[in-house]
Amino acid sequence: MIQNMLYFSEKGGVTVEEKIVKAIQDEYPEDFAWCYGCGRLNDVGHHFRTGWQGENTVSIYSPEPEHLALPGFVYGGLVASLIDCHGTGSAALALHRKNGHEPGDGAEPPRFVTASLNVNFLKPTPHGVPLKAIGTVHEIHPKKFKVEAEVYANDSLCARGEVVAVVMPSTFLKKE
C-alpha cells in the first residue's frame, strides 16, 4: 500500500486524498499509450492509472463535471470505462509481476486488450467524490486473465464488474 499510494491529510484530518504513485500505464510503450481511457499520451482522455495495493489492484478517478447520468450521479458508461481499463491494467500488472517485474523497475510491461466486459450497477454512483476500483486478478491462461472489480464511491460499493483481458494480438499493430 505504501509503495503505490500517496496519502495527504489536511490539517484537522478530515480529508484524505489517495493517488496511485506507480501505475502500470505510466510505462506502457509509446505505441500503446494512446488509449482514451488510460493512455498517458491521449491529451483529452481520462488518464486512468492502476497500481498494486498489496495483492489487489487499484485505480482511482474523479469524474469530470460533465460525466453525469443525471445531475448528482455518475454516467454508467464512465464506470464501465473505468472497469475496462482497470481490467487491462490489472492484467498487465499481474503478468508483469509474474515475469519478475514491478512498475518503476524500468522493464516494459505487457499490454492487454479487453475480450469481454461485464458490469452490474448495484446502486446510483454519486458524483463529486473520487471513485476507487479495486481488482482481484485471476490467471486463466498464460495470455488471458480475469479481473474482478469493485467500484466504490467513498465507502459505498456502487458497481461490480468483470473483465477478461488477453495479451494484445499482433493484429492491433497492423493498421497504422
Q: Rule CB under 8 A: which residues touch its own copies? A: 31-32, 34-37, 39, 42-45, 66-73, 75-78, 80-81, 84-85, 113-121, 124, 126, 171-173, 175-176
**What is the C-alpha to C-alpha distance for residues 102 and 22, in angstroms, rounded to an integer?**
9
Our separate counts of H helices and E strands in the chain read: 1, 10
Q: What is the dihedral of CA 160, 125, 123, 49, to 10 degrees?
A: 0
CB of 84 to its own copies, least distance (A): 5
- C-beta closer to its own copies: residue 21 or 113: 113
CB 29 within 8 A of CB 22: no
CA-only gyration radius of the chain, Å: 16
CB of 132 to its own copies, least distance (A): 18
CB of 110 to its own copies, least distance (A): 14
- C-beta closer to its own copies: residue 20 or 78: 78
CB of 175 to its own copies, least distance (A): 4
Q: Cell numbers 491494467 correspond to what residue? A: 89
- C-beta closer to its own copies: residue 21 or 34: 34
